[in-house]
Amino acid sequence: MGHEMHGRTPFLQHYLMSIYRSLGWHNRVAVMHDLFRELLPWPSQEAKHRLRDILHRDFLDTHDATLF
């Protein structure tokens, strides 16, 4: 079944996959959710609100505030 792999990464991958396979489907979803939340560069809610406030302030600085 494929070629033999050596080294730390394949060992860790095999170890993590064996743990993952032992989980129920709802636990798998939770694990994947946590993993993606940590690894992907999605901003937190605080960062989203901060960005919205900055963009809104910059818009008001560059446009006539009497339009609102």
Q: Most distant CA pair in the chain: distance in Å? A: 70
| Residue range 9-68, pLDDT digits in tens | 777 788 778 777 777 777 777 777 777 777 766 667 777 778 778 777 776 666 555 555
Main-chain phi, psi angles of 19, to 5 degrees: -65, -45
Q: Buried b / exposed e across 11-44, counting CB within 10 Å, b at 16+?
A: eeeeeeeeeeeeeeeeeeeeeeeeeeeeeeeeee
Q: What is the domain partition of the chain in residue ranges? A: 22-67
| Residue range 36-51, pLDDT digits in tens | 777 766 667 777 778 7
* Entry pTM: 0.31
